[in-house]
């Protein structure tokens, strides 16, 4: 393991470490299923699963790794072949990385309501507008950008996707730091001139281009080969496991005022046991329900662990006496964002209602979905 990776992650919240990313690329492990001659490692599904579990076990920062993989699927399918061929070696080696430019400052969950404008001018397009929460933009070369190219068409029909080079004049990236310790960005586009070759798919047919990566992020088409995680929110549960370990470690070395070990306290063990049962239930919750269960198990579970440990649970990373180097404080803060990114819990409840229970599509008076 390259030294200082975890410290770097705690101080930056980037979800990315360049040296690690490139080291993975050098071994073909960013796209491990790709053949070696294309920059991958030619790993079969079992070896890919082992690799994924090891990366998680070592807590390798993976946000930019994941967004690059999501976007690559759309680039491979919809970019002009020369552009895809030009980018592929860099993507495999780790020097070319992609982030997701979906959320408008106003659009939020309703991505199709985006109003960042792209207007054709000769062989170029001129972009004006802003995106919120473009995580990793400061570590990426391109953003997978949703733009509006026809304001008069129904909202899903006037969108066009671009792979926008972030180094272009007129792109400004501003840091946003979250309560959970993550870094994301607001990205402003002022008269940004993008050559047409960076358009992905047809003009005004961006929704079809976007659907693939969006559905993949929402968990559609997940492998059912018996190797993949059952729970879509499994990534949140790794953090909960670490928080449970921290609590168990604290209990083993702590005593009550009467001198009895915390680890022998039946009330403590009962409450801890309930959280372990919740974890086990979450790990085997499938489909979009798993995304909701994973997030809620972490949010509610860590709150319970903080209550069990008491005030010292909220000592932060690097503070004297922080249990497991501030693991509980970190997990408690980080948990909150998991209800939002990649689709909020409420949006996932709608997905469960419509696609699992077969209920009619929900409409809300005054919702953004109704505003043109």
Ligand X SMILES: Cc1cc2nc3c(=O)[nH]c(=O)nc-3n(C[C@H](O)[C@H](O)[C@H](O)COP(=O)(O)OP(=O)(O)OC[C@H]3O[C@@H](n4cnc5c(N)ncnc54)[C@H](O)[C@@H]3O)c2cc1C
Cβ proximity to ligand X, 128 vs 344, nearer residue: 344
Structure tokens at 228: 């993949």
Task: Choose one: 16-24, 41-49, 89-97, 341-349; the region binding ligand X (CB under 6 A).
Answer: 341-349
Interface map 252-291 toward ligand X (x if CB under 6 A): ----------------------------------------
CA atoms within 13 A on the CB side of 212: 19
Shortest reach from residue 364's CB to ligand X, in Å: 6
Shortest reach from residue 106's CB to ligand X, in Å: 8
Query: How buried is residue 99: exposed, middle or buried, by Cβ count under 10 Å (0-12/13-18/19+)?
Result: buried
Cβ proximity to ligand X, 145 vs 324, nearer residue: 145
Tokens 């491979």 belong to: 76
Interface map 288-327 toward ligand X (x if CB under 6 A): ----------------------------------------
Which of 190, 211, 346, 371 is in the footprint of ligand X by CB under 6 A? 346
Task: Choose one: 20-28, 90-98, 177-185, 268-276; the region binding ligand X (CB under 6 A).
Answer: 177-185
User: Pairing mode, if any, of strands 117-121 and 183-195?
Assistant: unpaired
CA-based nearest residue to 256, from 247, 265, 246, 248: 265
Which of 12, 141, 160, 184 is in the footprint of ligand X by CB under 6 A? 184
Concerning whether 182 is annotated as a catalytic residue, the answer is no
Does position 247 bind ligand X by CB under 6 A?
A: no
Does position 108 bind ligand X by CB under 6 A?
A: yes
Which of 178, 204, 254, 354 is in the footprint of ligand X by CB under 6 A? 178
**How many CB atoms neighbour CB 161 within 10 A?**
30
CA atoms within 13 A on the CB side of 26: 6
Does position 141 bind ligand X by CB under 6 A?
A: no
Task: Choose one: 29-37, 86-94, 162-170, 176-184; the region binding ligand X (CB under 6 A).
Answer: 176-184
Which of 68, 114, 134, 338 is in the footprint of ligand X by CB under 6 A? 134
Cβ proximity to ligand X, 109 vs 128, nearer residue: 109
Shortest reach from residue 204's CB to ligand X, in Å: 20
Shortest reach from residue 145's CB to ligand X, in Å: 9
Cα separation of 149 and 128, whole Å?
11
Shortest reach from residue 171's CB to ligand X, in Å: 15
Element (H, E) at 250: helix 234-253
CA-based nearest residue to 199, from 163, 169, 152: 163
- Number of residues forming the site for ligand X (CB under 6 A): 21
Give 183-238 as a DSSP string.
Answer: EEEEEEEEEEEEEGGGEESSTTBHHHHHHHHHHHHTTTT---SSSS-S-TTHHHHH
Cα separation of 109 and 347, whole Å?
8
Cα separation of 142 and 165, whole Å?
4
CA-based nearest residue to 162, from 133, 132, 119: 119
Is the backbone of residue 59 left (phi > 0), alpha (psi -120 to 50) or beta? left
Shortest reach from residue 371's CB to ligand X, in Å: 12
Does position 350 bind ligand X by CB under 6 A?
A: yes
Query: Taking CB positions, which residue lies at the least distance from ligand X?
Result: 108
Residue of 18, 56, 217, 312 marked catalytic: 217
The beta strands (E) that lie in 53-136 are given as 98-101, 117-121, 124-131
Which of 182, 205, 229, 329 is in the footprint of ligand X by CB under 6 A? 182
Does position 354 bind ligand X by CB under 6 A?
A: no
Which positions lie near ligand X, rule CB under 6 A?
A: 99-103, 108-109, 133-135, 178, 182, 184, 337, 340-341, 344, 346-347, 350, 367
Catalytic residue numbers, as ranges: 217
């Amino acid at each position: 393991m390259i030294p200082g990776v975890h410290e770097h992650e705690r101080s930056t919240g980037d979800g990315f470490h360049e040296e690690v990313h490139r080291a993975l690329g050098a071994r073909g492990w960013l796209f491990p299923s790709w053949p070696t001659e294309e920059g991958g490692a030619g790993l079969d599904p079992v070896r890919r699963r082992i690799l994924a579990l090891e990366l998680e076990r070592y807590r390798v920062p993976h946000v930019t790794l994941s967004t690059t993989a999501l976007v690559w699927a759309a680039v491979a399918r919809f970019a002009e072949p020369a552009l895809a061929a030009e980018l592929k070696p860099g993507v495999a080696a780790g020097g070319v990385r992609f982030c997701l430019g979906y959320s408008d400052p106003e659009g939020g969950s309703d991505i199709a309501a985006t109003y960042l404008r792209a207007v054709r001018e000769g062989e170029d397009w001129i972009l004006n507008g802003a995106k919120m929460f473009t995580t990793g933009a400061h570590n990426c070369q391109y953003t997978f950008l949703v733009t509006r190219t026809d304001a008069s068409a129904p909202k899903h029909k006037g969108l066009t996707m671009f792979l926008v080079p972030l180094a272009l004049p007129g792109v400004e990236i501003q840091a946003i730091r979250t309560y959970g310790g993550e870094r994301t960005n607001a990205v402003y586009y002022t008269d940004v001139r993008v050559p047409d070759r960076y358009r992905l798919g047809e003009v005004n047919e961006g929704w079809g281009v976007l659907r693939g990566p969006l559905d993949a992020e929402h968990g559609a088409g997940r492998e059912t080969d018996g190797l993949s995680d059952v729970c879509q929110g499994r990534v949140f549960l790794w953090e909960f496991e670490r928080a449970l370990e921290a609590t168990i470690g604290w209990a083993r070395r702590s005593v009550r005022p009467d001198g009895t070990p915390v680890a022998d306290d039946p009330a403590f063990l009962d409450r801890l046991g309930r959280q372990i049962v919740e974890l086990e239930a979450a790990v085997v919750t499938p489909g979009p329900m798993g995304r909701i269960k994973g997030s809620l198990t972490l949010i509610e579970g860590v709150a319970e662990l903080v209550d069990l440990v008491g005030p010292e649970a909220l000592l932060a990373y690097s503070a004297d006496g922080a249990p497991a180097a501030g693991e509980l404080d970190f997990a408690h803060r980080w948990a909150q964002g998991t209800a939002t990114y990649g689709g909020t819990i409420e949006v996932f409840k709608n997905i469960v209602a419509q696609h699992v229970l077969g209920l009619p599509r929900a409409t809300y008076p005054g919702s953004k979905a109704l505003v043109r």
